[in-house]
Amino acid sequence: MSAQQRAAREPVDVAVGVLVDAEGRFLLTSRPEGKVYAGYWEFPGGKLEAGESVEQALRRELHEELGITIGAAHPWKMEMFDYPHALVRLHFCKVYEWSGAFEMREQQAMAWQSLPVQVQPVLPGTIPVLRWFAEERGFEGLTHAG
């Protein structure tokens, strides 16, 4: 295996924001054109930069992508997901407080959702989170279409 192949399988750390509003709905955003899985719905976030903590990366990413400033990020779960293009280590944090108006700075769409989610298609790495919500909330049935 070449060094490039080994590097391709090193996990990429990604901070993911699970924004939950006062009604218990959660925010999903679409992946913008030009990115892998464009048009798929996911929880917003992005890659950690060198030296960043998960909370620092999440704070930076949500400001860059959505124009908001988050309050505390509550670490929730971690999941490894092996996409064809990358192995990612997803660090999910619940966020209950934020300030600022939502601005879709990457021309993505946003939707407040509850179970079962109505937007589709859902990014594969998002599906476990929907199951976690179902378990927490005692929800029975399909969590998403497709």
pLDDT digits (tens, 9 = 90+) for 24-78: 999 999 999 999 899 999 999 999 999 999 999 999 999 999 999 999 999 999 9
- d(CA 5, CA 124) in angstroms, rounded, equals 23
pLDDT digits (tens, 9 = 90+) for 90-132: 999 999 999 999 999 999 999 999 999 999 999 988 999 999 9
Q: Which residues pair with 34 in a beta bridge?
A: none
Q: Which residues pair with 13 in a beta bridge?
A: 89
Q: Hey, what domains does the chain have and what are their CATH numbers?
A: 3-112 (3.90.79.10)
- d(CA 129, CA 42) in angstroms, rounded, equals 10
Give the C-alpha distances (Å, rounded to integers) separating 57 from 1, 44, 65, 83, 142.
31, 12, 12, 21, 32
